[in-house]
């Protein structure tokens, strides 16, 4: 299959003084910037290498807001208003600039050049073997030690008929983190009037290279607490089997009869006890639509507020991850899960499995990928 052509704490007090001064300077020029309606622009801080981090807040007519940072192309906050007028942040918010190590961990950032895992950080392409830095045991995860989540992208507001938008661009040099080719990647965040946050990714290259981009936002539709009782449906009848290091074996199996069967609505916590010893989800689902069109991949509903989110994507796979909120108590059989991720993408380690949809992008081709997070409430 080819791509369609179509909270770290800042310890430097002086940094905040600089950021405040920059914010004041930028704010005084907002009128001159002539920003499109529904977009606010500010300085968020500085990266570890001294680059200015900009924040763009998108607001739709319902009052829903999405804050996007230029560092890591990060979804720093997503405040959703339900039909009762109640507004909560449905993602882990990023509130401080990155620390000395750079990056914001994994919260809300875009991962690349290759999201997910590459076995032993090694792959062969056109007869040449490439070695990527290993940063997850023996393997490479989310682009290596300095993936796209740890760099500052160029950002610009976009006038869009669909709603306020911001376009972020990053040029990855040939050989960066061991990958071949000069890759130009973009992601456009658009917040529509009907409460859809849309992410449109594109990429081009001057040499053949693997590409697999995704966003790693942590969601909780209640705005806090655990997610064990959230009802989840995943439009996937199969999954990729993996070994003890979460590296795919190449086998694809049905979810029927397993803890991964969410083909009908089921509570997130209903089957966790069967996932011993980790008792959490970190699995790649083979989506029914196969990545051939924009189609629904998942639906999750929070029972108390009635908030619901649907994930739609053009990708063939989706990694579902649940993060522990706390260790189990004496009365609990499983950990309490505080957040979940829906990482729409190609399969993990696709570059080493000929039977998986290919992640190879070649000169003259255009990588295109779209994911939408659609919010509603009863």
Cα–Cα dist 326/298, whole Å: 25
Greatest CA separation for the chain: 60
Cβ neighbours, 10 Å, residue 6: 8
Catalytic residue among 71, 139, 142, 216: 216
Range list of H helices, the chain = 13-28, 30-33
Reduced to 3 states, what is the DSSP secondary structure of residue 20?
Answer: helix
Q: Which of 299, 315, 311, 149 is nearest to 216 (CA)?
A: 149
Catalytic residue among 54, 302, 343, 372: 343
Q: Please indicate whether residue 332 is annotated as part of the active site.
A: no
**Which class for 300: exposed (0-12), middle (13-18), buried (19 or more C-beta within 10 A)?**
buried
Q: Which of 200, 116, 126, 211 is nearest to 172 (CA)?
A: 211
Q: Is the dihedral of CA 79, 339, 231, 255 positive or negative?
A: positive
Q: Please indicate whether residue 216 is annotated as part of the active site.
A: yes
> Residue 368 pairs with which residues in a beta bridge?
202
> Residue 73 pairs with which residues in a beta bridge?
none
Q: Active-site residue numbers?
A: 216, 343
């Amino acid at each position: 299959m080819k791509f369609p052509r179509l909270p770290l704490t800042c310890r430097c007090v002086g940094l905040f003084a600089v950021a405040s001064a920059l914010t004041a300077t930028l704010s005084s020029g907002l009128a001159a910037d002539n920003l499109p309606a529904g977009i606010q622009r500010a300085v968020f801080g500085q990266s570890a290498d001294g680059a200015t981090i900009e924040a763009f807040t998108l607001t739709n007519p319902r009052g829903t807001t999405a804050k996007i940072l230029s560092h890591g192309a990060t979804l720093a906050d997503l405040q959703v208003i339900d039909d009762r007028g109640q507004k909560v942040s449905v993602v882990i918010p990023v509130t401080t600039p990155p620390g000395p190590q750079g990056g914001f961990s994994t919260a809300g950032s875009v991962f690349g050049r290759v999201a997910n895992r590459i076995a032993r950080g090694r792959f062969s392409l056109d007869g040449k073997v490439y070695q990527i830095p290993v940063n997850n045991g023996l393997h490479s995860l989310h682009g290596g030690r300095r993936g796209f989540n740890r760099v500052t992208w160029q950002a610009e507001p976009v006038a869009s008929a669909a709603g306020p938008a911001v376009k972020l661009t990053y040029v990855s040099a040939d050989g960066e983190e061991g990958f071949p080719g000069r890759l130009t990647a973009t992601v456009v965040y658009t917040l529509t009037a009907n409460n859809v946050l849309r992410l449109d990714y594109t990429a081009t290259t001057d040499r053949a290279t693997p590409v697999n981009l995704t966003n790693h936002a942590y969601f909780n539709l209640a705005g806090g607490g655990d997610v064990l009782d959230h009802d989840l449906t995943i439009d996937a009848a199969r999954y990729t089997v993996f070994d003890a290091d979460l590296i795919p074996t190449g086998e694809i199996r049905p979810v029927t009869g397993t803890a991964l069967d969410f083909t009908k609505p089921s509570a997130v916590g209903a089957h966790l006890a069967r996932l011993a010893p980790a008792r959490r989800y970190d699995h790649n689902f083979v989506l029914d639509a196969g990545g051939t069109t924009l189609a629904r991949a998942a639906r999750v509903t929070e029972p108390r507020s009635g908030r619901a989110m649907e994930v739609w994507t053009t990708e063939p796979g989706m990694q579902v991850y649940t993060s522990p909120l706390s260790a189990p108590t004496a009365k609990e059989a499983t950990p309490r899960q505080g957040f979940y991720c829906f990482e729409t993408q190609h399969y993990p380690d696709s570059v080493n499995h000929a039977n998986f949809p290919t992640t190879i992008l070649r000169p003259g081709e255009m990588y295109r990928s779209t994911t939408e997070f659609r919010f509603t409430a009863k």
